[in-house]
Structure 1
Amino acid sequence: MTQMEDRWLSVYEIGKYLGVSSDTVYRWIDKHTMPAHRMGRLWKFKKDEVDEWVKAGGAADKRRQDHAE
């Protein structure tokens, strides 16, 4: 893996990668324990950690699942 592929991603970049807005990323950090690392004022992400979180169902809206049952 090259250094550029393993770099820390910003909120904008991880949102673009996942196809969601920056507001959604901040909401996931707050409500869904999205794997994020605070660096000063900024949130940074490792793509492989976020991929695992998504695969494990971390981005699923629990309220919608509860209402669907």
Structure 2
Amino acid sequence: MERYPEILTVTQLAEYLQCDKSTIYRLIKSGEIPAFRVGSNWRFRREVIAQWLEQRSRPKKNGS
């Protein structure tokens, strides 16, 4: 992820996550992914996305 700039666009994030831009917009709409607006465009902090990915990739404890 180091080759990407500090602030990512929807297109850059979709490329990095290897998914469609519509998936990114769905995650934004549901509040599942940390994002902010610059005017009418969505942006993502690279460091925050890295943390978000780390949290999502951890196995969930099942209460035992």
TM-score by length of 2: 0.72
Would the aligned equivalents of 2:6 and 2:47 in 1 still touch at CA under 8 Å?
A: no
Q: Which residue of 2 aligns with 1:29?
A: 28
Deviations along 1:14-69, whole A, 9 cap, x unmatched?
Answer: 110111110000111111431111111000111111111122128xxxxxxxxxxx
Q: Which residue of 1 aligns with 2:19?
A: 20
Compare the two structures and name the one with the higher strand fraction: 2
Say which SS state the counterpart of residue 45 (structure 1) adopts. Answer: strand
Q: How many residues are treated as equivalent by the alignment?
A: 55
Flag as ranges the 4+ runs of structure 1 deviating above 4 A. Answer: none
Fraction of identical pairs, as percent: 27
Say which SS state the counterpart of residue 37 (structure 2) adopts. Answer: strand
TM-score by length of 1: 0.67
State the AA in 2 paired with 1:28. L
State the AA in 1 paired with 2:18. G
In the TM superposition, residue 6 of structure 1 has moved relative to its aligned partner by 4.7
2-side partners of 1:5 and 1:16: how far apart?
Answer: 10
Listed as ranges, the gaps of 5+ residues in structure 1 are 59-69
Bigger shift: 40-49 or 28-37?
A: 28-37
Would the aligned equivalents of 2:9 and 2:43 in 1 still touch at CA under 8 Å?
A: yes
